[in-house]
Amino acid sequence: MPTKSRKQKGGKYSKKSRRHHKVQSTVGNILPPIDVRSPKDIPGFMKRVLAGPVTIVLVYADWCGHCVEFMPKFKSMIRSPERTTQVASIESSMEKQVKDALQKNNSQVKPINVEGYPTTLIMDNKGNNLKTIPRDSLSTVLKEGGPLAEKSIAKSPIAQPPIAQSPIAQPSPNMQQPPTASPRNIQQQPPTASPRNIQQQPPTKNKPLTPLEELDSVRLPRNVNHVGGSLYKKLIVGLKRK
C-alpha cells in the first residue's frame, strides 16, 4: 500500500511521518509491545522488562498450529488502552539468547521454563519468571497486573540499615598486661598418693636393751619394803655411774 503524501509550499511532496503512540496507563510508562525474532530485538525486550513493574511474555513457535490460532486474540488483547503491564513475545528460536541476556543482567535470575507452545508467563522487573498464566486469564492480568504488582512492592519490607555498634576498647600498647603462664612456667605438682601408690613400710623392730636399760625399766613390786626399794635404786644409780 503506497504511503500517503501531502503537497508542501514550492510544489514539493513529503511523506507523512508515522508515530507510534504509547498506551496511556495509570501505572508508570507502558511501552508498546515488542516481538523478539532476532538478536537486534533483545535490547528492546530488556528495556521493557527493566521498566516493569511486570511484563507479560508470550513464547511461541512459527510451526505451532495452536500458536497461529492464538496470535490474533493475543494481539487484540495487548492493544487495549486499559493495559497496565509491559508485553513481549519471543519466537522459539530466540529463547536461548533471551535467557542469556537475562542471566547476564541478573546472575540469580529464575529462568524461563517453557514446556509447550504457546506459553504465556509473567516476569518481574528483575527478569524472574514468576508464574505461567492460563490463556483464559490473560485479559484480566493485562488490566490488573500492574497495580497489583505495585501494591505488592509497596507492602514488601524495606531493608533497614545495620545498627552501628560501638567499637570495643582495645588495650593500649603501653599498658602492661600480666604475663600469661606458659606450659614451661607451670610448676608440676607432685601427684597425690593414691591408696595403691602408698608403699607399705615394714614394721620397725625394737632394738635389744642393754642390761642396764633392762634393769632401769624394771618396776618394783608393791610388796617390796622401803629399805629394799631404796637399796635397789642405789644399785641402779651405781651401775649408771660405771
Dump the DSSP string for 15-81: EPPP-PPPPP-SSS-PPPPEEE-SGGGHHHHHHHHHH-SEEEEEEE-TT-HHHHHHHHHHHHHHT-T
pLDDT in the model for residue 152? 74
81 within some domain: yes
Q: How confident is the model at residue 151 (pLDDT cuts 50, 70, 90)?
A: confident
In a domain, 75, yes or no: yes
Mean pLDDT of 29-55: 95
Q: Within 13 A of 144's CA, how many CA atoms are on the CB side?
A: 6
Instruction: Report, as an integer, the average pLDDT of 6-12.
Output: 51
Q: Are 114 and 81 within 8 A, CB to CB?
A: no
Name the band, by pLDDT with cuts 50, 70 and 90, for residue 157. low
Average pLDDT over residues 165-189: 57
Q: Is pLDDT above 50 for 29?
A: yes
Asked whether residue 30 is domain-assigned, the answer is yes
Q: What is the pLDDT of residues 80-123, one digit of tens each?
A: 999 999 999 999 999 999 999 999 999 999 888 898 999 999 99
Residue 178 lies inside a defined structural domain of this protein: no
Q: CA-CA distance, 193 to 120, in Å (whole number)?
A: 86
Residue 111 has a pLDDT of: 82
CATH number at residue 44: 3.40.30.10
Flag whether 127 is in a domain.
Answer: yes
Which one-letter amino acid corresponds to residue 194? S
* Nearest Cα residue to 220 out of 212, 232, 210, 211: 232
Query: Is position 96 within any domain?
Result: yes
CA dist., res. 123 & res. 181, Å (int): 65
- State the residue range of the domain holding 25: 21-154
**Highest mean pLDDT (candidates 22-36, 51-65, 162-176, 219-233):** 51-65
Question: Which residue's C-alpha cell is 632394738?
Answer: 207
Q: Is residue 233 one of the residues assigned to a domain?
A: no
Least confident of 19-23, 26-30, 40-44, 146-150: 19-23
Instruction: Confirm whether 112 is domain-assigned.
Output: yes
Q: Which is more confidently placed, 8 or 106? A: 106
The grid cell for 4 is: 500517503
Please state the domain count of the chain: 1
Rg (CA), the chain: 55
Nearest to 117 by CA among 66, 56, 74: 66
Query: What integer is the mean pLDDT of 14-18?
Result: 48
Outline where DSSP puts E strands in 92-228: 119-124, 129-132
